[in-house]
Amino acid sequence: VATPAITPDQIDTSNARLEAEAVRDYAHLGEQLARRGIDVEAVLAEVMAFSVAVPSWGLGTGGTRFGRYPIAGGPNTLFEKIEDCAVIQQLTQATPRVSLHFPWDKVKDYDELKGFAAAQGLGFDAVNSNTFQDQAGQGLSYKFGSLTHADAATRQQAIDHNLECIEIGQKLDAKALTVWLGDGSNFAGQSDFTRALERYLDSMAVVYAGLPDDWRVFMEHKLYEPAFYSTVIQDWGTSILCAQKLGPKAQCLVDLGHHAPNVNIEMIVARLSQFGKLGGFHFNDSKYGDDDLDAGSVNPFQLFLVFNELVEAKSRDPHGFDPAYMLDQSHNITDPIESLMMSVGSIEQALTRALLIDRVTLRGYQDGNDPLMAHATLKEAYDTDVRPILKIARLRVGAAIDPVGVYRASGYRAQKAAIRITQGATGGGIV
């Protein structure tokens, strides 16, 4: 087991300072919730059990096509990204898995990588394939598509890449493959919608056949970008049709930023879970498009409504319902470690508030046609300040009550700046 970057002592010292107040606030909230018929300890247990995966590509400072502002001490290699993930896990105890993206995260020795991660208390989540850009030395170009390309050899190259991702994932004990494609068109008439989707299904059937028994494949839809006229898997409708066609191991993945403005995402979540096709999430927030802003930073009410559906779905199927949760954000102006830790808190907050919804009362108002009181029942939960529950959950699982505070006080980034090379503004970043 590796020596943690932030000593348990640093966490304990900070927690000792904050504990008494947190305990008092928690007791007070517990009393208030008891009056509403809610057992705070039952809610706490669910929050303590919650976890969300961190994407390897979220650890580097992102950027836009206009520029990138690297931070001193940022990670340059996958191993350095894993080190940063370990800090997030140490301080939150809610991110025990890392999601890798290939070929970005290719290494020579996956046993070494697995051992390195395990020594820091980390495992691996769904693996992501990349056929949305050409890689050095690649035989055929994806300029005009990958799994849906008109040329069979190019499709085969993309299929082979996905099969290789499954192989690597097996070495890392991952249990799912996420497929997101940039395939689509930029001009009306450029592509035949139907034939492109037929080619997608044919290609995916081969990938599906390569899945081990206990694996799932997640199809991630996205409305547009990089294709700006049409995208092959553009929405949850196309996604669920394909998932139904491919078989039980195929499910849909909802990236919160991948929808048209004002689309009712919580309703999509309900529909997918009703039909057993909700595979997982990429959490982030968005104002205009696929902004990849920090989860809960723009529309925390929407995040709460999504978790309302998730809590409801879990209550219908407590053992079978198991979506894969991951963050998928781009951190352009903040330290990624700080943003990711804040986002974990926002997601936990949405979950906790959703757990406070009085579902029996809500159902009564729904069936009694009382829209105002039905909405008020949701708002009662949403308006509750649940931060004391989050703080006590962190304390009990050995995390920091104030993760960002401990992180800043540790000087972690400055220490890394002395060791890691800071990249130039254009170099080495992930687009």
Among 83, 105, 309, 328, binds ligand LRH (CB under 6 A): 328
Residue 31: Cβ within 10 Å count: 10
Q: What span, in angstroms and rounded, lies between the C-alpha atoms of 145 and 132? A: 8
Nearer to ligand LRH, 44 or 147 (CB): 147
Strand order in the sheet with 97-99: 54-55, 97-99, 123-124
128 binds, among ligand LRH, Mn ion, none (CB under 5 to 8 A by kind): ligand LRH
The conformation of residue 226, written as its DSSP 8-state character, comes to S
Q: Which is nearer to ligand LRH, 26 or 236 (by Cβ)?
A: 236
DSSP 240: H
Closer Cβ to ligand LRH, 309 or 328, answer by number: 328
Which of 81, 216, 222, 394 lies at the binding interface for ligand LRH (CB under 6 A)?
Answer: 222
Residues that bind Mn ion (CB under 5 A): 255, 282, 290, 328
Site string for ligand LRH, 109-148 (x = CB under 6 A): -------------------x--------------------
Reduce the DSSP state of residue 290 to 3 states and report it. Answer: coil
Give, to the nearest 10 degrees, the angle between helix 265-274 and helix 300-316.
10
105 binds ligand LRH (CB under 6 A): no
| CB of 158 or CB of 395, closer to ligand LRH | 158
Cβ 94 to ligand LRH shortest distance, Å: 21
Using the rule CB under 6 A, is 183 a contact of ligand LRH? Answer: no
Contact string 48-87 vs ligand LRH (x = CB under 6 A): ---------x------------------------------
Question: Helical H runs in 283-399?
Answer: 300-316, 336-355, 359-367, 371-382, 387-397
Tally of CA atoms within 13 A in the half-sphere of 422 that contains its CB: 13
Q: Give the number of other Cβ atoms within 10 Å of residue 264's Cβ.
A: 12
Contact 143, 156 (CB under 8 A): no
Q: Decide whether 90 or 286 has the Cβ nearer to ligand LRH.
A: 286
Provide the mask over 282-311, with x wherever binding to ligand LRH is found by CB under 6 A and - wherever it is not: x-------x---------------------
DSSP class of residue 53? B
Q: Give me the numbers of helices (H) and strands (E) for the chain, helices first please.
A: 15, 12
Chain contacts with ligand LRH (rule: CB under 6 A): 57, 128, 180, 220, 222, 255, 282, 290, 328
